[in-house]
Amino acid sequence: MASKGRQFKELINAPEILIQPGIYDGYTARLVERSGFHAASISGAGVSESRMGWVDRGVMTFDENLANARRLADCTDKLLLRADADTGYGNAMTVHFVVRAFEKAGMAALMFEDQVWPKRCGHMAGKSCIPAEEMVQKVKAAVDARRDPDFVIVSRTDAAGPLGVDEAIRRLNLYAEAGADVMYADALLSKEDIAKVAKNVPKPLIVNMGLGMRSRKTTPLMSPKQLQDIGVAGVSYPRLLSTAALKGMMNAMAVFKDEILQHNRVIDRPDLLVSFDELNDLMGMAQLDDLERRFASK
């Protein structure tokens, strides 16, 4: 069987756009896999918010990010995972070890960005970028470090906001020349900018769609087909599941406080809560039952 990196390359280079829902924990990994997707992006923001309890501002460390990625790879058999290594946690030398670690953890692809550390979520104000030449050295280190030549290096630029879309294109071309396999342009602010970047970079382009970010001026929402038609190779939905999960929990907590605590009415709400059986089914009960039947002592 082809390596995970090779499979990811085949999908991102195929004519049909590669859809990558954002995951961050066991629930989301299993749900995306069961929903029939072939690839998923591990949302650095989702991991930081759900595991650390802090907004995506560089609080999460390399070890915490890596450990979570390893757990996600361990609980899914089919999903090809693209991890988010932020800025590489240092310079080009540290990038070498970061690539080795995430590849060993079972990832198919790894993304680095050209922000100054501590980074910010790509749609936050106040971003700044390191010199393009410094990022080029990180890309070269990443390419050199991988053991599988098909392990996918994704180079992300956040330059479009602070420095303009033309600078974002210039940087992506430099990163492609340095050996990156896939380009990622974050926080593009118009459909025209997305089309312009897709047309002017030499390797497959991924953009994200900020479902759940309607209160901010950010990348305009487009369908996968619309993105495909203008040359985009992949689309990520990093906040779809995290914002949906939080909204569901907020709704359930509001009902709990109103019905049970305030009005003393004990009710179950199947419209708000999955059943015990649904939960166990999603989280691998059948596989554990099978192992127990096969190997438990008689």
pLDDT 10s digits, 72-105: 999 998 999 999 999 999 999 999 999 999 999 9
Chain Cα centroid distance, residue 227: 18
Phi, psi (5° rounding) for residue 184? Answer: -140, 115
CA distances (Å), origin 206, targets 68, 139, 180, 235, 255: 23, 17, 13, 5, 39
> How far apart, in whole angstroms, are the C-alpha atoms of residue 14 and residue 10?
6
pLDDT 10s digits, 243-295: 999 999 999 999 999 998 888 998 889 999 999 999 999 999 999 999 999 99
What is the reported pLDDT for 160? 94
- Contact between 20 and 82 under an 8 Å Cβ cutoff? The reply is yes
Q: How many CA atoms lie within 13 A of 75 on its CB side?
A: 21
- Average pLDDT of the residues of the chain: 94
CATH 3.20.20.60, applies to 4-239: yes
Q: What is the DSSP string of 49-80?
A: IIII-S-SSS-S-HHHHHHHHHHHHHT-SSPE
What is the reported pLDDT for 120? 82
Six-digit token pair at 155? 């180079």
Look up the pTM and report it: 0.94
The structural domains of the chain, with segments of one domain joined by +, span 4-239, 246-295
Q: How many CA atoms lie within 13 A of 27 on its CB side?
A: 10
User: Which neighbouring-strand residues pair with 39?
Assistant: 80
Task: Name the CA radius of gyration of the chain, rounded.
Answer: 20
> How far apart, in whole angstroms, are the C-alpha atoms of residue 14 and residue 170?
25
What is the reported pLDDT for 213? 62
What is the average pLDDT across 142-160?
A: 97
253 by Cβ neighbours in 10 Å (0-12 / 13-18 / 19+) ranks as exposed
What is the average pLDDT across 116-139?
A: 90
Q: Which of 230, 146, 215, 217 is nearest to 187 (CA)?
A: 217
What is the reported pLDDT for 235? 98
> How far apart, in whole angstroms, are the C-alpha atoms of residue 82 and residue 73?
10
**Residue 218 per-residue DSSP state:** -
What is the reported pLDDT for 217? 62
